[in-house]
Structure 1
């Protein structure tokens, strides 16, 4: 599958925006959660429902609804990217869901990321937000 990248680049951070495939509405906006590819391949095979997933040689990126970092402390090495601006050279779409939604549900994704990285889930305190990807 061909990759979908916004022609625009966030010059201040040197990142590219992951755009969604045509015909996939993102009424909730979209962010991305990245993991190093070594973890990402395992995660992709374990999630029961997966939305759009992008990959380059080093990282894999899951599309989630905008604001999926609210009250979640995503564990390292996960990288949460608001607006789906990612520090990747040439990511390409490697998984497209069968249905119309581009999203991977963020809570199951978060729990699986915690399990794969060996980190206990830690819910942020009310009103706290992740500072990654700011």
Structure 2
């Protein structure tokens, strides 16, 4: 017969806590404003690129394209679905369980890894048919 303490220890042993996986800023680049990421389904990625005046670091896997943006680029913005906002550029569990991190597919010239968030937000709104947050009517 197992004691309650043994059962609790066994239950805890089954849960493996993984360190969060995050997109890394490439060597030689700095992120003085912190770093978050915006992900879109892989099919949207190629449609977003030509709409941006400047493209920072972009990562991709089979399912998503990820853009590095300065921290807090979600402040007062509702990123349009199906975009996902990742604070700290930490990958969601579904992606972080993958064997490899998404690969870097675009590295900008210079030392800053950022895609400007407002043009990225507007491009995503346009492609998804979403009205930007600041353009929506205010209701009482």
Are the counterparts in 2 of residues 9 and 17 from structure 1 also a CA contact under 8 Å?
A: no
2:49 alignment partner, one of 15, 38, 44: 44
Matching residue of 1:3: none
Q: Which residue of 1 aligns with 2:138?
A: none
1:115 alignment counterpart: 126
CA distance in 2, matches of 1:82, 1:119: 22
Structure holding more helix per residue: 2
Q: Does 1:73 align with 2:78?
A: yes
State the TM-score, normalized to the length of structure 2. 0.76
**Partner of residue 60 from structure 1, selected from 46, 65, 72:** 65
The number of residue pairs the alignment matches comes to 112
Match of 1:9 among 7, 19, 23: 19
Q: Distance in 2 between matches of 1:28 and 1:9?
A: 23
Q: 5+ unaligned residues in a row in structure 2: which ranges?
A: 1-17, 135-140
Q: C-alpha displacement at 1:9, in angstroms? A: 3.0
Structure with greater proportional strand content: 1
RMSD: 1.5
1:74-111 CA-partner distances (Å, limit 9, x unpaired): 11000000000113233000000012210000011100
Which runs of structure 1 show a deviation greater than 3 angstroms over 4 or more consecutive aligned residues?
Answer: none
Aligned to 1:96: 107
Structure-1-length-normalised TM-score: 0.79
Instruction: For residue 9 of structure 1, give the secondary structure of its aligned residue in structure 2.
Output: coil
